[in-house]
Amino acid sequence: MSAFHFFKLSLLFSLLPNSIIPNSQKSRGANVFPPTCSRIECPTYGLIQLGKDYEIRRYNSTVWISTTPIQDISLVDATRNGFLQLFNYIQGKNEYDEQIEMTAPVITQVSPSDGPFCESSFVVSFYVPKINQANPPPAEGLHVQKWGPKYVAVRQFSGFVSDYEVGEEAAALGASLAGSIWSAANDNNTAYTVAQYNSPFEFKDRVNEIWMALDVEEEVGAVL
């Protein structure tokens, strides 16, 4: 089996319930380069500011292939559901019958519910490789997101993603921003994105991230 296909299958297994695989020792903060991005394509960004437990990034324009919103009480379950749709897509289940290279991270955009037992809305996406960005293959039930340059606040954590931990990490990032110069730019402090980079067979140096979008003018970001 090629390393490429091994990675795709292993990433699929990583989205199974995390009780199957023990967590590695946790670490939290920022400024860890995801090892996966040295092997497969990831979106590029510039580091604007490195805080104590977060960082501010400016992502270049990106293209994503995304699911329709998935209503669920569990991010883990919704991400697994969306990943299966997107995995079929890159395997050739699209209108061009075209296979597409795996990329990282797999992101899940989260619009939280108003209560702990209510369904939230999740959109799961793959980053489209640059070679396919001009004309991503269409597919039923999926749509293309084209992002212009985007500023995000990022908090990193390791281990295997769980529903409870994601909520804690998102709250911690929101709290960090509340005491920073970026608080006014975080105009929707309830929505966030979870980015997952690793194969489940990587027990050390796992990198996951919480992203929160910032409303920053391009001229301002260039000065910081």
pLDDT in tens, 12-64: 444 444 433 333 334 456 677 888 899 999 999 999 999 989 999 999 999 99
In this prediction, residue 154 carries a pLDDT of: 97
Pick from 98, 77, 102, 105: which is nearest to 87 by CA?
Answer: 102
Instruction: Give 153-210 pLDDT, tens digit per residue.
Output: 999 999 999 999 999 999 999 999 998 999 889 876 789 999 999 876 778 778 999 9
pTM: 0.84
In this prediction, residue 20 carries a pLDDT of: 34
Cα dist from 64 to 51, 86, 126, 140, whole Å: 28, 11, 6, 15
Q: Can you read off the two tokens belonging to residue 51?
A: 């805080």
Q: Is the pLDDT of residue 9 over 80?
A: no
In this prediction, residue 200 carries a pLDDT of: 66
More confident residue, 29 or 89: 89
**Whole-number Å distance between alpha carbons of 68 and 88:** 15
75-90 and 3-14 are packed helices; what angle lies between their axes, rounded to 10 degrees?
150
In this prediction, residue 219 carries a pLDDT of: 54
Q: Can you read off the two tokens belonging to residue 121?
A: 């809305």
Q: What is the rounded average pLDDT of the residues 136-160?
A: 96
Task: State the burial class of residue 117 (Cβ atoms within 10 Å of its Cβ: 0-12, 13-18, 19+).
Answer: exposed
Return the percentage of the chain with pLDDT > 70, whole number.
81
Phi, psi for residue 178 in degrees, rounded to 5: -60, -25
In this prediction, residue 35 carries a pLDDT of: 84
Q: What is the rounded average pLDDT of the residues 65-92?
A: 96
Pick from 205, 201, 208: which is nearest to 21 by CA?
Answer: 201
Other CB atoms within 10 A of residue 24 CB: 15
Beta strands in the chain (DSSP E): 28-29, 45-50, 55-59, 62-67, 70-72, 106-111, 120-127, 142-147, 150-157, 192-196, 208-214
